[in-house]
Amino acid sequence: MSATDIHCEGLVRIFTAQGVEVQALQGLDLRVDAGEMVALVGASGSGKSTLLGILAGLDTPTAGAASVDGHDLTTMGAKERLGYRRQSVGFVWQQSGRNLLPYLTARENIAMAHAVARVVPPRERGPIGDDLLKMLSVDHVADHRPSQLSGGQKQRVAIAVALANSPRVLLADEPTGELDETTSAEVLGAMELANKERGVTTLIVTHDSGVAEHVDRTVRIRDGRTATETLRSTLTHADGTTVRTAQEYAVLDRAGRLQLPAEFVGALNLRERVRLALEPDHVEVRPGHAGAPTPDAVPVPAVPVPDAPAAPLTRAEARRRLEEGGGR
Ligand SMILES: Nc1ncnc2c1ncn2[C@@H]1O[C@H](COP(=O)(O)OP(=O)(O)OP(=O)(O)O)[C@@H](O)[C@H]1O
Ligand SMILES: [Mg+2]
């Protein structure tokens, strides 16, 4: 078992549509450890679904490295890819119609996932399906078809279907995008439960700010790159009360690049270039464009120019050197 289940480094995906290139991912780095539950957020068009499509084995990157559960997604052949999609990853989409077959009941949808993957022995399939429906509190609607389920119930059944073959990794692309706030919280709670009880590594793309309650790490993508991360932890006071704390970090890649948060850039009107200074325990970033306020001017040390003449030649000296044939 690897300690890192999802690993992307310098991931690039370029789409070409009608002669126009779109760089959906521009050197994205991401690491998700085994058993972690991480939320992936970012503006529309920032590359979230593109990343999930690659991690799900539905699409291949243009460049860079990506591996999930020890499978190299860039070199995987058709046979490995099929096995990978059946056994290593489970997927929950935003549209419940994409997750469930409409003419099958909840229980039958899980049975179908088992039948297609053929990784669970037939006699274990029924009990596994019933356990999943119970864990996700939809056992009472096991014999209902999707049209007879509420939006939240459909997504919880979809989670059960995605978990049917005990994948190591669960990927979800806006699983609560079509739900109201209360139902969204229930579905995110169900994913958190699945993560805690089954230890399935979970990556959720979401616009839902309520996700902060359910994950310890939120990764923000900006322009096809991971830009910032928020890490949360729960502190317990001496009197037993608990408080959630959050700390935001910028992501630093192997080449030392980082993105400054947009609000920092805006607040100091940073543009074009900035001036950096190394302090004993931090790095200072100051505006560097013309007209930006300058702190104490730093004296520029005189740099000796190699081979520079000590002083300009006088006309007489130049003539003398020419006559000697030295050329200078
Ligand atoms: N198949 C494709 N062909 C051409 N361009 C594409 C394709 N898929 C995505 N893109 C482009 O890649 C960029 C990233 O798209 P993506 O769907 O990954 O964004 P997203 O972060 O999931 O956005 P949203 O929050 O709206 O779902 C966008 O500019 C999009 O138009
Ligand atoms: Mg998307």
Of 7-16, 147-156, 298-307, the poorest mean pLDDT is in: 298-307
Q: Is 50 in the pocket of ligand 1 (CB under 6 A)?
A: yes
Instruction: Tell me what pLDDT residue 51 has.
Output: 96
- Greater confidence (71 vs 212) lies with 71
- pLDDT, tens digit (0-9, with 9 covering 90-100), for 178-227: 889 999 999 999 999 999 999 999 999 998 888 888 898 999 999 899 98
Instruction: Name the residue ranges covered by the structural domains of the chain.
Output: 4-250, 260-298
**Whether the predicted pLDDT of 326 surpasses 50:** no
- pLDDT, tens digit (0-9, with 9 covering 90-100), for 139-170: 999 999 999 999 999 999 999 999 999 999 99
Q: Answer positive or negative: Cα dihedral of 268, 270, 276, 280.
A: positive
Q: Is 20 in the pocket of ligand 1 (CB under 6 A)?
A: no
**pTM of the complete model:** 0.83
Q: Is 24 in the pocket of ligand 1 (CB under 6 A)?
A: yes
Indicate the pLDDT class of residue 328, thresholds 50, 70 and 90.
Answer: very low
**Whether the predicted pLDDT of 240 surpasses 90:** no
Dist CA 116 CA 142 (whole Å): 20
Q: Of all protein residues, whose CA lies closest to atom 2 belonging to ligand 1?
A: 15
Q: Is 58 in the pocket of ligand 1 (CB under 6 A)?
A: no
Residue 229 burial by Cβ neighbours in a 10 Å radius (0-12, 13-18, 19+): middle
* 50 Cα–ligand 1 center, Å: 6
* 93 Cα–ligand 1 center, Å: 15
- Chain-wide mean pLDDT for the chain? 87
Mean pLDDT of all residues in 245-259:
86
Residue 300 burial by Cβ neighbours in a 10 Å radius (0-12, 13-18, 19+): exposed
Q: What percent of the chain has pLDDT over 90?
A: 63
Q: Is 94 in the pocket of ligand 1 (CB under 6 A)?
A: no
* 49 Cα–ligand 1 center, Å: 7
**Whether the predicted pLDDT of 267 surpasses 70:** yes
**Amino acid identity of 303?**
V
Q: Is 45 in the pocket of ligand 1 (CB under 6 A)?
A: yes
Q: What percent of the chain has pLDDT over 70?
A: 88
* 176 Cα–ligand 2 center, Å: 13
Q: Is 17 in the pocket of ligand 1 (CB under 6 A)?
A: yes
Q: Is 42 in the pocket of ligand 1 (CB under 6 A)?
A: yes
Dihedral angle, C-alpha 273, 277, 282, 285, nearest 10 °? -20
* 47 Cα–ligand 1 center, Å: 6
Domain 4-250 has CATH 3.40.50.170: no
Token representation of residue 94: 């935003």
* 205 Cα–ligand 2 center, Å: 8
- Greater confidence (117 vs 254) lies with 117
**Whether the predicted pLDDT of 300 surpasses 90:** no
Residue 305 has phi, psi (to 5 degrees) of -95, 120
